[in-house]
């Protein structure tokens, strides 16, 4: 199981939201770069980095902080939040992001996804499937898209997408465990699924492995000390 720590940026700080609610924000650290460097020092090989302000507004809002992290750590970084054009995607990939993560754009600009896959290849393009009661959310999870996960997922596979992050918004930040039922269904397809939302224990990670999930993003459980970084990454040093 590859455990990927999450850094969510808002106003230049590391925060965690509960169920994607910007009004339920908790500041975890004022220095995102030091947080990223800490995870790397603990042995984490990858990082999930999200510009929450960008996701909400539709354009990057923490570019200076993001650039510092990309250029000052050895982490392989998958980066999302406000990436809704070829130009922004290319800028981040050229700065050093291993992959860009698109959510809103995947639903509103399907041609953009095809163009990015053609130009950069399927390993560098990740689609974020963020669902609330089966409906995919957009604009920093503040709006519903009117589109169902089970309708959109097969279409993205047909377009050539092979990397996905799935989040059950109702579980995100709650430490109540992941949505194993949906994850199992997604994992049955020929693609990479990264689990996100609600993961809080070693037992959760073991359950994910049992259903065929080998990648998991963890945020609040790490910041709250629910999982021990040394046990997660010591074999990867």
* Positions marked catalytic: 8, 130
8 Å CB contact between 104 and 115 = no
Read out DSSP for 44-98? --EEEEEEHHHHHHSS-S-HHHHHHHHHH---EEEEESS--SHHHHHHHHHHT-S
- Rounded-to-integer distance, Cα 144 and Cα 138, Å: 6
Give counts: helices (H), strands (E), the chain.
11, 12
- Rg for the chain (alpha carbons), in Å? 16
- Rounded-to-integer distance, Cα 99 and Cα 131, Å: 21
């Amino acid at each position: 199981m590859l455990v990927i720590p999450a850094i969510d940026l808002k106003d230049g700080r590391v925060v965690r939201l509960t169920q994607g609610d910007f009004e339920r924000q908790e500041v975890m650290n004022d220095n995102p770069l030091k947080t990223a460097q800490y995870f790397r020092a603990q042995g984490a090989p990858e990082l999930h980095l999200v510009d929450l302000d960008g996701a909400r507004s539709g354009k990057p809002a923490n570019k200076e902080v993001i650039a510092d992290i990309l250029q000052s750590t050895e982490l392989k970084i998958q980066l999302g939040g406000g990436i809704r054009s070829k130009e922004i995607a290319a800028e981040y990939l050229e700065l050093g992001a291993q992959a860009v993560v698109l959510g809103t754009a995947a639903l509103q600009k399907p041609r953009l996804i095809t163009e990015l896959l053609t130009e950069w290849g399927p390993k560098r393009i990740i689609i974020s499937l963020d669902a609330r009661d089966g409906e995919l959310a957009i604009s920093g999870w503040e709006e519903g898209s009117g589109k169902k996960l089970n309708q959109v997922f097969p279409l993205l596979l047909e377009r050539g997408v092979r990397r996905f992050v799935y989040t059950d918004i109702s579980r995100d930040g709650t430490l109540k465990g992941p949505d194993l039922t949906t994850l199992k269904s997604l994992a049955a397809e020929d693609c990479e699924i990264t689990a996100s939302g609600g993961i809080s224990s070693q037992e959760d990670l073991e359950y994910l492995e049992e259903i065929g999930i080998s990648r998991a993003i963890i945020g609040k459980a790490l910041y709250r000390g629910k999982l021990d970084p040394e046990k997660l990454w010591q074999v990867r040093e």
